[in-house]
Copies of this chain bind each other. A is one copy, B any other.
Amino acid sequence: MKTLADELFREFREHSVSEFFRKNAAMLGYTGKVRSLTTVVHEAVTNSLDACEEAGILPDIKVEIRRVDEDPEHLRVAVEDNGPGIPEKFIPSVFGKMLAGTKLHRLLQQRGQQGIGISGAVMFAQITSGKPALVRTSTGDGRVVEVEVSINVDRNEGEVHGKRVEEGGWKGTRVELELKEVVYQRSRYSPFHYLEMTSVANPHARITLEEPDGTKTVFERVVKEVPLPPEPMPLYPKGLMADDLLVLCRSSKSRTLAGALTGELSRMTKKKVEEVERLSGVRLDKKPQELTWEEAERIVKAFRQMKFMAPSSSGLRPIGREHIEKSLRRMYEPEFVSAVTREPKFYRGGIPFVVEVGMAYGGKAGRKEEGEGMEGMELLRFANRAPLIFDQGGCVITSALRSIDWGRYGLNPEASPLTVFVNFCSAYVPYTSAGKQSIAEEPEVYEELRFAVMDVARELRFYLCRKTRQKEKEQRAGIFEKFLPIIAQKASSLAGEEPPDIRPVLKKVTGLEPDGGE
């Protein structure tokens, strides 16, 4: 018997992830002509920085944006790095297959984590210009490979054509993408600003930008240490959910559950394992694959009652207080700068993270509304050193900052010349969208962001108080300096005596040397 439902379900189909994101390009950040261009640059530069970091190389990245013909919305973007290169057989998957990569299954702090980004950029190029990506890469084995890569959207597969091989000692990767329906400009949402921000958060990188009008800008590195390569990180027991534990145990190579717990999680000593066994009542000598849901729930509950050392930050790569301050100083020439790199915390799923906050006050810091001369607080958001330029409204960083009572710190978000720099470091950033421009409202992240901001704001308040006191002192001193000599002179002339040396008195009264210094 054919029912209406049978009829309706005749159209039931399965789709590839590429097809999904082709129809939903907005979810990857391809919305608007300015943003689309910046997204392409972002994806390529992100990959280059990750590759260099993983290989322990000081990154030297060139970005060229050139016009192709008389159409100003037709541009060719090339991004070249001095990274480790890509082995030939992986080229089609790296540039043409979504949800493929070296990152998704490991807890590793990197800018990319989805295996979507650069394939998305190749797809955007393909659907706007009809042109495949041009990839040139060498792993340093003497062979430089150049191929064109296009995406087979129906099958979510990369296809290569026109392979050329040269001999040469060069090492690195260059990708060229031809785009239509994009606009180059120098706004807050432009590749220029994006790269400037990237340079602030990656003081070890040299980034060169060539704009369509031929202008070349070098964002020079200010530090010469390569950050340590990222390391896979074990999960932290607290915050872990039953399902996370089951997934871990299912793929564990340990013989026993006890072994799996110590091997796969951080801060699990033998003593802790005994405590888990006692609190949960689960026997830990069985195979990890035999763990049931109920047992997993009991173990997770035990974790929550237990005390552990703070999460390990071994795999996290924060920028560090000193480097943030250096970057902010170079960028804003401020009168005050301070930063903090907080201790690691964890959020749901046992995922460790570190929050860093820097503030620059005065100088060129603060938001500048063009043409209006208005000032106020500027917020720079980063996740694993990658700038978050778009979707500011929906980001936990924004909501945490909004919740701060700035008046308590002597600041006014509408008027103070203040730049707040926030970097969220984690092996897994809970983005709200595949476009990776805003971070979800995880309660632990929200709280920690608030604490970090308050840490630095407190220091800024001290500075501002000191500055105010100093000013008052100087004003006070000014009055004495102005009138004491006159009084001394009048008095001495009345008394018919020589005016006395009033400098010691002045110093005593004002607390200042007569020249105004302290």
Mask, A108-142, CB within 8 Å of B = 1, is 00000011000000000011101000000001110
Chain B residues within an 8 Å CB radius of A20? 17, 99, 104, 114
**1/0 per residue A225-255: CB within 8 Å of B?**
0000000000000000111001000000000
A68-90 interface with B by 8 A CB criterion: 84-87, 90
- Among B31, B102, B391, the residue within 8 A (CB) of A11 is B102
- The interface residues of chain B lying within 8 Å CB-to-CB of A106 are 11
**A172 to B84 CA separation, bound complex (whole angstroms):** 57
Q: In the complex, which range does the number of interface residues on chain A fall in?
A: 35 or more
Q: How far is the CA of A5 from the CA of B17 in the complex (A)?
A: 27
Q: Does A435 contact B (CB under 8 A)?
A: yes
Q: Is A32 an interface residue (CB 8 A)?
A: yes
Contact in complex: A8, B55 (CB < 8 Å): yes
- Which of A195-203, A256-264, A413-421, A424-432 participates in binding chain B? A424-432
User: Which of A21-29, A209-217, A359-367 has 4 or more CB atoms under 8 Å from chain B?
Assistant: A21-29
Confirm or deny: A9 has a beta carbon within 8 angstroms of a beta carbon on chain B: yes
Contact in complex: B243, A84 (CB < 8 Å):
no
A187 at the B interface (CB under 8 A): no
Chain A interface residues toward B at CB < 8 A = 1, 3-6, 8-9, 11-17, 19-20, 23-24, 26-27, 31-32, 51, 54-55, 84-87, 90, 93, 97, 99-102, 104-106, 114-115, 126-128, 130, 139-141, 181, 241-243, 246, 293-294, 296-297, 391, 393-394, 428, 430-435, 438, 440-443
> CA separation between A33 and B80, bound complex, in Å?
44
Q: Is the CB of B15 within 8 A of A105?
A: yes
Known: A242-B130, A433-B27. Is A6-B87 also a contact (CB below 8 A)? yes
Task: Supply 5 A–B pairs (Cβ within 8 Å), ascending by A.
Answer: A5-B87, A13-B100, A15-B99, A20-B114, A31-B430
A90 cross-chain contacts in B, Cβ below 8 A: 9, 12
Known A12-B100, A99-B20, A104-B20; judge A432-B84 contact (CB<8 A): no
